[in-house]
Structure 1
């Protein structure tokens, strides 16, 4: 008798969707912060503004890494796993 995985496909898809939402929120916050820093930079100068820009640049690089590397890799891995499990279930079905 063929066995299927015990995976709850809708629940798995929901987890993937939530990761994608986090990724989108990070991207939006990065964009908002960059716009704000650019506004400050356009109207001001000096050491405080330079410190703000440097801190923002470091933060933005880290957030980019989280959103574009870490979360993308996690989402891709979860989609691949889901696909493989669905294929396995399909192959194990008795006609």
Structure 2
């Protein structure tokens, strides 16, 4: 894998993992990173950037996109953020609710 171009969707996934971890997900962080074409170390670094942005870590220099994702979703409840980060696992997607 070469350097990954972080999309907003990737940042939302990393932000979800920063806030809630993988306990409520059907797979672990390594599998999530692999599915997205992201090296596990890179995913962990992005999560560390969110920690630092929140004042709990030592890394700095967070990407503008990551800061925007943090601010936009910092108060989003877990179920809604999970649906946003992982629409493929969304109950509404599985049941067809809300689909046109």
With normalisation by structure 1, the TM-score equals 0.26
With normalisation by structure 2, the TM-score equals 0.25
User: Higher relative contact order by CA 8 Å / sep ≥ 6: 1 or 2?
Assistant: 1
Structure with the higher helix share, 1 or 2: 1
Largest Rg, 1 or 2 = 1
